[in-house]
Amino acid sequence: MKSELYTIVGDTKAAYAQFAIDSITAFEKFFRANLPTITPPFRLHVITDGRDLITANRKCGEAPDRSGVLAGEGFYLIATDYPHQLPRPYDCRLKFDGLPVIYRGEARQVRRRLQGHLFNKQYRQRFGEDALERCLKLDDVDGNKGGINVGEEPFASARWIVVTLPLPGAQLIREFAEWGFDNAWGRPIASNEKKKNPHYIPLIDAAADE
């Protein structure tokens, strides 16, 4: 019975690892084929203040977009010409309207996550110090809590673009999308995960060893 159980577990791990590899590869091909041109279901938004996340805001060179930034589940990119102070080179090759992509992420509530990233002071005032978890840092100063506030200097002098992609379903799928994007365009400079994703990376590594 124990041998049979180990066989089932092993087969499940192998199948899951292959599913992860196939999913990441599929997202890689998707992002490589469909960016940087912005066509539905992608949406591009120029961000100048917090209202741009929820009200009418224009697209680069296009008519106003009155739907607001995606509120639900999805994948998103942040591009800017703000001069970061991170001790890493740009690995991501993707640009929108000349602005390099500095961050890619996923969220169950994309608009709220972007509020935490780009209007962190307002976000903390509304949701408390726990909002620091949503802080996006563009420096590497020890002890600096960071926080971007697009409506205030020095960030207000920079240009900011957000691109979103609706991606409903399990968080794991959106995480596969993140890794697929990195494979297609390179990991953005501010996307600096502390550890490998525990959901699937060990399984992929194990599959590669077989």
Query: What's the pLDDT at 25?
Result: 92
Say if 70 falls within a structural domain: yes
126 found inside a domain: yes
Query: 33 in a domain, yes or no?
Result: no
Block residue for tokens 């992509």: 101
- Statement: residue 85 has pLDDT above 90: no
> What domain range includes position 61?
38-194
Element holding 180 (H helix, E strand):
helix 171-185
Residue 15 lies in a domain: no
Q: According to the model, what pLDDT value does residue 180 have?
A: 94
The pLDDT assigned to 54 comes to 61
pLDDT band at 84 (very low <50, low <70, confident <90, very high): confident
Lowest mean pLDDT among 20-29, 54-63, 130-139, 172-181: 54-63
Q: Is residue 8 part of a domain?
A: no
- Say how many domains are in the chain: 1
User: Tell me, what's the pLDDT at 19?
Assistant: 87
Q: Which two tokens stand for residue 93?
A: 């090759």
Quick check: 125 and 88 in contact, CB under 8 A? no
